[in-house]
């Protein structure tokens, strides 16, 4: 995958997208944790709706994918 154009010393061509780092993935996991606060509060208060539980399920699915990516990145270090 590329983004924009870059000079490689001889000609312009597609600029590569930098590889994601473990810190990038950890930042995304932290953002998902923050997004879970409100629906978790509703669950704890006993006022959760289907939207709250659906949101938590979606966030957990995303987090599981990111945790697997993080494990792969950390095993390469």
| Strand-pair partners of 5 | 14
Asked whether residue 25 is assigned to any structural domain, the reply reads yes
| CA–CA dist 73, 49 (Å, integer) | 36
Q: Which domain holds residue 67?
A: 20-76
Ranges 2-11, 18-27, 60-69, most confident: 60-69
User: Residue 58: pLDDT above 60?
Assistant: yes
| 48 found inside a domain | yes
Predicted confidence at residue 8, as pLDDT, reads: 72
Q: What does the pLDDT read at residue 5?
A: 73
**Tally of structural domains, the chain:** 1
Tell whether 39 is covered by a domain: yes
Tell me which residue has tokens 């061509």.
13
Is the residue at 38 inside a domain? yes
**pTM for this predicted structure:** 0.76
- First-to-last CA distance in the chain? 23
Higher pLDDT, 12 or 35: 35
């Amino acid at each position: 995958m590329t983004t924009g154009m870059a000079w490689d010393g001889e000609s312009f061509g597609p600029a590569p997208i930098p590889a994601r780092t473990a810190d990038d993935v950890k930042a995304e996991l932290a953002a998902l944790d923050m997004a879970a606060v409100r629906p978790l509060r509703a669950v704890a208060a006993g006022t959760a709706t289907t939207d709250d539980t659906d949101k938590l399920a979606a966030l957990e699915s995303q987090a599981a994918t990111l945790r697997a990516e993080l494990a792969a990145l950390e095993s390469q270090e």
